Chain A
């Protein structure tokens, strides 16, 4: 039975495009919701970066969104592959064009090369965002300081950095720890005999060795490794215990599969196995996105691949210690298995995945970056990024073409983020051998142009002491009966991470109540906020504060 499932799953990737070829192409008239207009401002944005390089850089190509100059406007650090990574400071005005200015980094150029991706987080609890650089070779930790100054901190934090080909990252604060645990996902071990086939590198977990300062000299191997291209600390069963989900590339592993590690505090990680109900799934795993589509607190996961994207939800047979998932991508029309426009009907290649509400209608949307690995003949050469809008019937609606993002570029990492502080999510996509795409969200498409979309909130959490940005916190936003769930996470996507405000669409709700489950497990009292505000919530403060962009 299991073999049959695998066969069906595998064949769906190849056959599905032809089976589904009669599906309706998206049209403005048929759209039962606001279609966002994402205006391409790449040329005028001031960002000039491409992700390039040989085979090692067929994968990767990420960016980190962070506020490095404490103005609460999101800045970006963008990998360049064989070219140096670059930092851009956000100079956009609220609601206006997206404008960035390059900022030089006082770092060795060689350290900025070979970068595949980057994730922001405050490792040392000093209030400044630090950066984790994933590299082909030694990974680098950058300690953030005032005015976007970064210094190499591998030695300071006793992190050796390894010599692997690192393509995935996740971090979280384990209970009782003052500093985050860092997980690195590694790809092919090029030095192993027979490489690249069946030679996936082990993955690494670095737990802090000290409570007084970041100290990552102790490595825990997460073996076997199956060429992870994305990983994410998650609380799949609402137990409060961390798990580490990995999506792996079947292109290179042998006898591999998708992985879920149990990561109990103070104990070694342990893989969920078949006896736990974990089912073997084989995909060309490229990216992970977590979102609570059902609003029940149990996260769903989108897994990008070549061919079908998977959308996993807990199966009815799942139990608290039995992570049994079923794929609902087909019934939700989220397979995104082939290009939705153009003549190329070969299967797609999906990379970055991210859930958020791009049209502010309270329904989670799913963005998927697409692009042929390089020149794989069995897969689409023209492979536009997807913007799958969540609908009221729980199905997704492809709006990439209507939104204006169906461009002939080769997407990799990406970020949905409000770069000009107007409440609308903009989009930045790192492309292989193409310029980084910068799209500004102008609002909902109309016959005359654009109009306002639904109400929104953006929420920033803070707490004293360690874990100042509340990584691991859950935010429950209630408007009327339903609640929307957001989580503060570091990891996932494809080689791309973001920090700062968490965005949520409110639709027609004028008010919302917010409750926070802080990383220590405590639930906050109810905060009452009005729509269309940037809300700052500090743990134990009785009232929120609002922030207004300059």
Chain B
């Protein structure tokens, strides 16, 4: 039984009264009080299949409502007996406080952190989160980096396009692996193949004739060849997975598809007294809202001097190899977004798992999609300024971005997903900890695989460096 209020919420209280010779049952009906906080809609109808822009807008409205919601205990906020872990994990003891800046709950609403420059945006340093796997030492109350990795909040604009890119690239990588295996089996020779998709190389894979693949030469991707484009670390495959994780970690709102009876044996895993807190429709609405946020744009400055500097800066951006990782645009074949997608694993709704929860919406019908350029193949050019690949970003001499002590989900401590630069002018401060004040600072902090570009940047003269900054300052969230 999902604990929600409908527009006319009715509670039945049965009172047994002794009256005269027999038992009299009285029915007391109470209605929902209009001043009560109410965010979840038990009667929200999620359509299935391909939805029209109008229907998508209705879903988005509900998604935005949930994104802004400051959930109440009656709705399920809080997780007294569950940790922040992505695998349902019990806490050893109930936390003394509902909120905690470290182990969580650390936000009353998604919007509490994702709000710069507007709803769905990034977060100030004040909105940093402390990422812990949540399995051991889940109840840390220290900022000491041995317990958690401190992370700044990313913006979500264009997130649906990012997921679509990752899906297409993952599909191509799996095709490459399959082709290599087929060739190896056919020729009885080992086949080494470069894992290159949309111009991004993820290293090499060697397929042996007996169907075995050697994984030692992969670069910047997990061994299952699934691109996980979300989070600073690149460890979430989809907005749906990210949303389920975040709702539990930050708000203690647990999705049935991960924390429900099927996978935990309990309808109230976090033992807050509320069963089945978020259903598939709630999560789908949140996904729809985030996925269809318009992508950031490159804004032509009104100032002529800025225009000229930005033009020079663009050339420098390429010349000093910033663009080797921050690729200005990646081609996307289709703007059709299905939820759930095809690469999620158990615990996040998968295709075919709940027939009435499969949505499809076409971003091409969104106004913002008209701004997307196309290449000669008709593919949409997604101007994300990224490569959806992880890189080592610190070295011995330039180590500022290697500050973390904990690896996360098998990703080493000094590796991070290339930050997409779209919207960067609107989302200071910078760096995965949000502790680099300016673009100049974050560029200078690049070590590891970014070291050569950083050194080249430092070798520029003041005007050239300023021009590069001028260019980056055109990448805004509208």
Residues of B within 8 A of A533 (CB): 223-224
Closest A residue to B347 by beta carbon equals: A508
The 8 A CB mask of B176-203 against A (1 = contact, 0 = none) is: 0110010001000000000000000000
A451/B352 in contact, CB under 8 A: yes
Residues of B within 8 A of A550 (CB): 181, 185, 211
B345/A548 in contact, CB under 8 A: no
CA gap between A507 and B89 in the complex, in Å: 13
Asked if A549 CB lies within 8 Å of chain B CBs, one says: yes
CA gap between A530 and B85 in the complex, in Å: 17
CA gap between A511 and B237 in the complex, in Å: 13
Residues of B within 8 A of A12 (CB): none
CA gap between A71 and B208 in the complex, in Å: 12
The 8 A CB mask of A144-174 against B (1 = contact, 0 = none) is: 0000000000000000000000000000000
- In B14-57, which residues have CB < 8 Å from any A CB? none
Q: How far is the CB of B316 from chain A (nearest CB, A)?
A: 39
Residues of A within 8 A of B352 (CB): 451-452
Chain B residues proximal to chain A, CB less than 8 Å: 85-89, 133, 135-136, 177-178, 181, 185, 210-216, 222-224, 226, 258, 261-266, 345-347, 350, 352-355, 409-410
Q: How far is the CB of A275 from chain B (nearest CB, A)?
A: 41
Closest A residue to B182 by beta carbon equals: A550
B346/A528 in contact, CB under 8 A: no
Q: How far is the CB of A90 from chain B (nearest CB, A)?
A: 14
Residues of A within 8 A of B265 (CB): 32-33, 391-393
- Given A528-B410, A532-B224, A545-B212, verify A32-B346 contact (CB < 8 Å): no
Q: Of the candidates A72, A451, A532, which one forms a contact with B353 in the assembled complex, judged by CB atoms under 8 Å apart?
A: A451
Residues of A within 8 A of B87 (CB): 479-480, 507-509
Asked if A27 CB lies within 8 Å of chain B CBs, one says: no
Residues of B within 8 A of A481 (CB): 89, 135-136
Residues of B within 8 A of A72 (CB): 210-211
Q: Of the candidates A392, A452, A506, A511, which one forms a contact with B266 in the assembled complex, judged by CB atoms under 8 Å apart?
A: A392
Q: How far is the CB of B440 from chain A (nearest CB, A)?
A: 37
Closest B residue to A528 by beta carbon equals: B410
Chain A residues proximal to chain B, CB less than 8 Å: 32-34, 70-72, 360-361, 391-393, 448, 451-455, 479-481, 506-511, 528-533, 536, 543-550
CA gap between A531 and B224 in the complex, in Å: 8
A510/B347 in contact, CB under 8 A: yes
User: Would you list 27 pairs from A and B whose C-beta atoms are within 8 A, ordered by A residue?
Assistant: A32-B265, A33-B265, A72-B210, A361-B262, A392-B265, A392-B266, A448-B355, A451-B352, A451-B354, A452-B352, A481-B89, A481-B136, A507-B87, A507-B347, A508-B86, A508-B88, A508-B345, A531-B224, A531-B345, A531-B346, A532-B224, A543-B215, A543-B216, A544-B223, A545-B215, A547-B210, A550-B181
CA gap between A528 and B214 in the complex, in Å: 15
Q: How far is the CB of B212 from chain A (nearest CB, A)?
A: 5
Q: How far is the CB of B46 from chain A (nearest CB, A)?
A: 17
A530/B210 in contact, CB under 8 A: no
CA gap between A93 and B226 in the complex, in Å: 24
A545/B262 in contact, CB under 8 A: no
Residues of B within 8 A of A508 (CB): 86-88, 258, 263, 345-347
B263/A455 in contact, CB under 8 A: no
Residues of B within 8 A of A360 (CB): 346
Contact count A vs B, C-beta below 8 Å: 104
Residues of A within 8 A of B409 (CB): 510-511
Q: What 17 additional pairs, Cβ within 8 angstroms, besides A451-B352, A508-B87, A508-B346?
A: A34-B262, A452-B350, A452-B352, A452-B353, A455-B347, A480-B133, A480-B135, A481-B135, A507-B87, A508-B258, A509-B87, A532-B224, A532-B345, A545-B213, A545-B215, A547-B213, A548-B212
- Given A454-B263, A455-B345, A532-B345, verify A546-B212 contact (CB < 8 Å): yes
* 6 shortest interchain CB distances as A-B pairs: A392-B265, A508-B347, A530-B224, A480-B87, A454-B346, A528-B410
A392/B264 in contact, CB under 8 A: yes
Residues of A within 8 A of B355 (CB): 448
B210/A546 in contact, CB under 8 A: no
Closest B residue to A392 by beta carbon equals: B265
- Given A33-B262, A392-B265, verify A452-B215 contact (CB < 8 Å): no
A480/B89 in contact, CB under 8 A: yes
CA gap between A506 and B87 in the complex, in Å: 10
CA gap between A481 and B90 in the complex, in Å: 9
Residues of A within 8 A of B261 (CB): 32-33
Closest B residue to A530 by beta carbon equals: B224
Q: How far is the CB of A454 from chain B (nearest CB, A)?
A: 5
Which one of A451, A455, A481 has the greatest number of beta carbons of chain B within 10 Å?
A481
A548/B181 in contact, CB under 8 A: yes
CA gap between A34 and B350 in the complex, in Å: 15
Residues of B within 8 A of A448 (CB): 355
B258/A70 in contact, CB under 8 A: no
B89/A547 in contact, CB under 8 A: no
CA gap between A545 and B206 in the complex, in Å: 10
Residues of B within 8 A of A454 (CB): 263, 346
Q: Of the candidates A393, A544, A549, which one forms a contact with B215 in the assembled complex, judged by CB atoms under 8 Å apart?
A: A544
B222/A530 in contact, CB under 8 A: yes
Residues of A within 8 A of B258 (CB): 508
Closest B residue to A362 by beta carbon equals: B263
B223/A530 in contact, CB under 8 A: yes
Which one of B85, B88, B133, B224 has the greatest number of beta carbons of chain A within 10 Å?
B224
B346/A547 in contact, CB under 8 A: no
Closest B residue to A532 by beta carbon equals: B345
- Given A454-B263, A480-B135, A532-B345, verify A511-B410 contact (CB < 8 Å): yes
CA gap between A33 and B89 in the complex, in Å: 18
CA gap between A147 and B265 in the complex, in Å: 46
B215/A546 in contact, CB under 8 A: yes
CA gap between A70 and B185 in the complex, in Å: 13
CA gap between A248 and B265 in the complex, in Å: 37
A548/B213 in contact, CB under 8 A: yes
A548/B223 in contact, CB under 8 A: no
Q: How far is the CB of B381 from chain A (nearest CB, A)?
A: 31
Residues of A within 8 A of B222 (CB): 530
Q: How far is the CB of A361 from chain B (nearest CB, A)?
A: 7
CA gap between A508 and B265 in the complex, in Å: 13
Closest B residue to A34 by beta carbon equals: B262
Q: How far is the CB of A225 from chain B (nearest CB, A)?
A: 43
Q: Of the candidates A70, A393, A506, A548, which one forms a contact with B177 in the assembled complex, judged by CB atoms under 8 Å apart?
A: A548
CA gap between A544 and B214 in the complex, in Å: 8
Residues of A within 8 A of B224 (CB): 530-533
- Given A72-B211, A393-B265, A508-B87, verify A452-B346 contact (CB < 8 Å): yes
CA gap between A360 and B262 in the complex, in Å: 11
Residues of A within 8 A of B89 (CB): 480-481
CA gap between A480 and B352 in the complex, in Å: 27
Q: How far is the CB of B286 from chain A (nearest CB, A)?
A: 19
Residues of B within 8 A of A544 (CB): 215, 223
